[in-house]
Amino acid sequence: MKYYNHIIETIGNTPLVKINRILGEDFPALVLAKVETTNPGNSVKDRIALKMIDDAEKDGRLKPGGTIIEGTSGNTGMGLALVAIQRGYKCIFVTNSKQSKEKCDILRAVGAEVIVCPTDVKPTDPRSYYSVSKRLAAETENGWYVNQYDNLSNRQAHYEGTAPEIWEQTDGKLTHFVAGAGTGGTITGCGTFFKEKNPDIKIIGVDTYGSILKEIHDTGEIHFDHAYPYITEGIGEDILPENYDMSVIDHFEKVTDKDGAIYARRLAKEEGIFCGYSAGSAMSALVQMKDQFTKDDIIVVLLHDHGSRYVAKIYNDDWMREMGWL
């Protein structure tokens, strides 16, 4: 008989799927999607959840019977919850009001306590989900604050797992790697691995308007007050997480909230790949950059999470009409 001992053994080894229609018949390059929705928690964040917990157990930050506390847009929380179920930990997750109701409901479904904080406050505000997470970790007995933004196990998970998988799947022939940028773990971990293998591979981060990541990359300066609210979920930041190494990223492409939503819907209808907001943003970025690619290029684009997280928003016609996007 062939079976897994528990669900977290199924993390990783996700498929690479050719994109056929959404980019248009005249798109010059071969585009391959790393579909991370086949992870058990339906997102790429399962990978970092397992790695961060493993490392915290090894060095004693997370003790038996402890409580895992994290600020999350939903996906990292799901991965942490799945590992916590297997290993006997409690979970408290703090998110912001911008995130979809589905994400909060899913976290509660797997046994986590969920606290929702306001979106339109500065990261240093005591009401922000960054601040509330840190406070709860300090107040909770035997609590461990994960801090995926500054926890370098995040990017290490992709350096050790995601990138080697892609390298093997493409026989080392990829020329570009494209991924939405949020905490910086995926883009930096994979980018570092690919640059070590072949410095000519281009690493492209997808950012959203309102985020400060592209500005930091392009100017080397940090102006936190340049950030402003945006609707896109899963990418962009109003802080600079320690997981970033901007030197391995060649370019950031900005995508509007509207285009990310529209291309996510098109990805579902034209490719049969039901993914989240950041996947749509990545597809839109490729279309915007079409003239920069050639017929000899092999582009790997990472699709972070599942469309089920966004049914009440971008996959809801009424919501799209309210936004003026449909």
Q: Is 145 helix (H, G, I), strand (E, B) or coil?
A: strand
Q: What angle do CA 189, 117, 138 make, to 5 degrees?
A: 70
* Cα–Cα dist 296/259, whole Å: 27
Q: Give the CA radius of gyration of the chain.
A: 19
Task: Tell me the pairing of strands 113-117 and 90-96.
Answer: parallel
Tokens of 191: 């980018």
Which residue from 292, 317, 285 is spatially nearest to 19, judged by alpha carbons?
285
Residues contacting 260, CB < 8 A, separation 6+: 208, 232, 277, 278, 280, 281, 284
Tokens of 320: 């799209």
Task: Tell me the pairing of strands 16-18 and 30-35.
Answer: antiparallel
214 has catalytic annotation: no
Tokens of 64: 């038996």
Question: Longest C-alpha distance within the chain, in Å?
Answer: 58
Strand partners, 96: 117
Task: Label residues 175-203 b or e (16+ Cβ within 10 Å = b).
Answer: bbbbbbbbbbbbbbbbbbbbbeeeeebbb
> Is 49 buried (19+), middle (13-18) or exposed (0-12) by CB count in 10 A?
buried
Catalytic residue among 45, 214, 254, 313: 45
In what helix (H) or strand (E) does residue 255 lie, and over which residues does it extend?
strand 251-255
The amino acid at 174: L
Q: Report the residue count for the chain.
A: 326
Residues forming the active site: 45
